[in-house]
Copies of this chain bind each other. A is one copy, B any other.
Amino acid sequence: MNILLTVAYDGTNYFGWQKQKERISVQQKVEEALSRLLKNDISVRGASRTDTGVHALEQGVFFKAETTIPINKFPFAINPFLPEDIVVSKAVEVDDNFHPQYSVLKKTYEYKILNSRFKIPQLRNYTEFVHNELDIEKMQKSCRFFVGEHDFKAFCAAGSTAKTTIRTIYDLTVQKNNNIISIYVTGNGFLYNMVRIIAGTLIYVGEGKIKPEDIKYIIESKDRKKAGKTVSPNGLTLFKVCYI
């Protein structure tokens, strides 16, 4: 049986999604819970590696197992085996052609910024704090320059092993609700740190350090140094994964 879970997690206390030696990961916790529930060693694969401190609302998690638990009851069965910062919200059966990464059609990330004079402690693990008042309209005007198929080399962290730096962004929006600015970006795939560099570049626009139309030239330059800084992982959430 091929099972796809939708998993939410608070990444604050984990060294990212991916299993590692001697450092606690979300993948390890999910595998331990499934292995205990199903009384069998279970290995899982995620749709997306998320870094240390990055959160997920709907991470896709795939595994193979034999079970008599009805698939729609599976979240209720597995949640008691998970720590309180990891929650399974959905389980579906998928066919043999399904692949946890290659079957991904598009992914959406959310990046949250607290734009205020002082930090709000309750938001410290879930937002990037920006003290300077950001011009939300300018940030919104920048969005259209990102949309489409582009070589996003300027928005890729050094040391990436990606075969190509060409990606397609389907949608990018910036919203403001009181002093929280939320950036939503949907694409067919993302380079290493790409969303955090896009967010950092949008902050530069909001601060007036660069103009909205400069985005076009930054993309064309393919030069990481021209884009904004890589902002903190805390503000980042893997928001949604859509499969074929």
Contact = CB atoms under 8 A, between A and B. Distances in A.
Interface of A: 8-10, 55, 57, 75, 79, 84-89, 117-122, 124, 126, 237
Given A85-B124, A87-B121, 20 more contacts: A8-B118, A8-B119, A8-B120, A8-B121, A9-B121, A10-B121, A10-B124, A57-B122, A75-B118, A79-B118, A84-B119, A84-B121, A84-B124, A86-B121, A87-B119, A88-B118, A89-B117, A89-B118, A122-B126, A122-B237
A76 B36 CA distance: 50
What is the predominant secondary structure among interface residues of chain A facing chain B? mixed
Contacts of A122: 8, 10, 55, 57, 126, 237
Nearest to A89: B118
Nearest to A76: B118
A126 B121 CA distance: 12
From A9, A85, A89, A118, residue with most partner B Cβ within 10 Å: A118
Contacts of A119: 8, 84, 87
Contacts of A79: 118
A127 to B, nearest CB: 11
Nearest to A9: B121
Nearest to A126: B122
B120 A87 contact: yes
From A8, A55, A57, residue with most partner B Cβ within 10 Å: A8
27 contacts: A8-B118, A8-B119, A8-B120, A8-B121, A8-B122, A9-B121, A10-B121, A10-B122, A10-B124, A55-B122, A57-B120, A75-B118, A79-B118, A84-B119, A84-B121, A84-B124, A85-B121, A85-B124, A86-B121, A87-B118, A87-B119, A87-B121, A88-B118, A89-B117, A89-B118, A122-B126, A122-B237
Contacts of A118: 8, 75, 79, 87-89
List of 5 A-B pairs having minimum Cβ-Cβ separation, nearest first = A89-B118, A10-B121, A85-B121, A10-B122, A87-B119
A141 B14 CA distance: 43
